[in-house]
Copies of this chain bind each other. A is one copy, B any other.
Amino acid sequence: MESAILIIQCKDQKGIVAAVSQFLYFHNGNVQEVDQYIDSETGDFFMRAKWELKSFAIQKDHIQRVFSETVGDKFEMNFTLHFNDPKPRMAIFVSKLSHCLFDIVSRYYSGQFDVEIPLVISNHDSLKPVVEAFDIPFYHLPITKENKQAQEEKQLQLLKEYNVDFIVLARYMQILSPAFIASYPHNIINIHHSFLPAFVGAKPYHAAHKRGVKIIGATGHYVTEELDAGPIIEQDIARVKHHNTIEELVQIGQDVEKVVLSKAIKYHLTKKVMVMGNKTVIFN
């Protein structure tokens, strides 16, 4: 069934919820989900409402304008409107590791993700057969120090060509340039293979093994300019033991990585994650 999702972010003011609720009520909106959050520290207000389009009084194409004129402008709201048709378009970036890619493709295949995957981009060609087995175009763009800028431009061109809405770095082992990141603000999701902020940077499982931790983890976050420092969307952990080798930590960790990344994608797809400074609000 077709539905609309309204995402609002603004300064908290008396009467906001009343105004939004009235808007939906007057136009005969059959509300299915509604969540608010008031951050007492910053005074910020966040809201997510989902309702059926079928019986709604306003035509799909006019909702944005009518809401803006009757409610949004008055409260100086930052708001976005989302529909589940057409489906959002997600690009996947990979290197050589396959576990996250498999997990995403598996959910895509079974219909768990309401998304299109128009292309996969990789700096290696080893995962090409997997990707093409699922009829997804695969682009091999190897990265060196010298060609990095040129290749990023090609990537951006491809993303534009395929109308990509957001990007998932499924263990893509390259650092993106600030310019690239700026092209998809809060629309690039990365999985870091540690429980951030522990073990920032390269080889976190080696660092975890050296420190002798009893728990390892993974972090799904939006990519920002500062490495591994963007807003955290989801984290999870697994227990490890003294006898686990680094290779075993890697294997144990991969089970966490893939589930965490897929949860982060799901929150992003269903518009349940909102960015608040360098943190996230998750309506779950």
Contacts and interface: CB of A to CB of B under 8 A. Distances in A.
Interface of A: 14-15, 17-18, 21-22, 24-25, 28-38, 40-41, 97-99, 102-103, 105-107, 109-110, 112, 130, 133-134, 195-199, 211-215, 217, 231-237, 241-243, 245, 251, 254-255, 259, 262, 276, 278-282, 284
A229 B91 CA distance: 41
A242 B276 contact: yes
Given A14-B31, A211-B278, 14 more contacts: A14-B29, A18-B24, A33-B38, A34-B36, A99-B106, A102-B109, A211-B232, A214-B233, A214-B234, A214-B235, A214-B282, A215-B217, A215-B235, A242-B276
Contacts of A110: 97-99
Given A17-B17, A18-B18, A237 B215 contact: yes
A27 B251 CA distance: 33
A32 B40 CA distance: 8
A32 to B, nearest CB: 7
The 3 closest A-B pairs by CB, nearest first: A212-B279, A18-B21, A102-B106
B22 A22 contact: yes
Interface core residue of A199, A215, A259 (most chain B CB under 10 Å) = A215
A197 to B, nearest CB: 5
Contacts of A22: 18, 21-22
A232 B255 contact: no
Contacts of A212: 231-232, 278-280
Nearest to A238: B259
B14 A25 contact: yes
A212 B234 CA distance: 10
Contacts of A281: 242-243
B25 A32 contact: no
